[in-house]
A and B are shown apart, each in its own frame.
Chain A
Amino acid sequence: MDYIRYIEKTHEYYRGLGYDKTYNYACNTDIPFVPLKKPLSECRVALVTTSSFLLLDEGGLPLEEPRMLGTNEMEVFTAPSDWPADRILSTSEDHDRYQTDMNDVNAYFPITRMQEFLKEGVFGGLSRNYYRTLPNYSHRKTTEVDGPEILRQCREDNVDVALLTPV
């Protein structure tokens, strides 16, 4: 199957732009695994994404400041799981802008599809909140700060399953 080798491509691309440091992609060989312990129809499900977007008020104005790239501060933001898809505005700069746009939030943060699955009984429930964190150049921060914070909040909310949509 043909697909883009992003690691090779980005290394070449940034070297071509004159950057001498190439990004070190996460490489984990010790992969954690827990089998699903009950039927999905009894599970409480959360969404976790690295897509960047703003929640909008009813008049269509942003309720938060745009954020782009991670720092070393803890950066976990929530979005209520019943938030309407038409009140989300993408601020992503990490998509292939020649091929696609980010106008349909469900293509990267499937908030409407999750509500449909809930109504159809595919899931037992949805978490109170969904989670957003920023694409970050620090693996340490993702694994030691933001990741554990998302896990903590999921546990507090009795979440059984997390679906991840990295962008």
Chain B
Amino acid sequence: MTYTNARDIAASAGNPRQVFLNYPLGNPAGRPHDPENQRSVLRAGLKLLEDAERPGIIVDLPYTWSDSGEWMEKFMTDEQPFISEDAEVRRQDLLEKAREQKSGQLRK
């Protein structure tokens, strides 16, 4: 049973059972510091786990992050780049290392 904040990625990955929570990335199990919301989100997944009779169902949860959808518009814009420049450099370094390791393994 998968809890996701990214509906399109989850649909493409095609897990057996998924619930989609339309919150910003990082909160698949509910709103931070809101135990009741977290419990409701988890419960929705458990219900799907019990009820599903076929694979690939995605249940869209009714909870919204804020009254305005502005957070969705600003995601990955110049104003709100996805990750910091430092983090992007670290990510690319590690990615490069992983590629080197992979090509090293292929040569063996």
The chain A residues found within 8 Å of chain B, CB to CB, are 1-10, 12-13, 17, 25-36, 40, 51, 68-73, 92-104, 106-110, 112-113, 116-117, 122, 137-138, 161-167
B92 to chain A, nearest CB (A): 9
B14 to chain A, nearest CB (A): 4
Q: Is B55 within 8 A of A2, CB to CB?
A: no
B100 to chain A, nearest CB (A): 10
A76 to chain B, nearest CB (A): 16
Q: Is A162 within 8 A of B1, CB to CB?
A: yes
As a 0/1 sequence over residues 61 to 94 of chain B, the CB contacts with chain A under 8 angstroms (1 = contact) are 0000100010110111000111110011011001
C-alpha spacing A163/B38, complex, angstroms? 14
- Across the interface, A110 reaches (CB within 8 A) one of B14, B38, B71, B97, namely B38
Q: Is A122 within 8 A of B75, CB to CB?
A: no
Q: Is B95 within 8 A of A163, CB to CB?
A: no
On chain B, the residues within 8 Å of A35 by CB distance are: 52-53
Q: Is A4 within 8 A of B1, CB to CB?
A: no
- Across the interface, B22 reaches (CB within 8 A) one of A1, A113, A164, namely A1
- Across the interface, A137 reaches (CB within 8 A) one of B3, B95, B105, namely B95
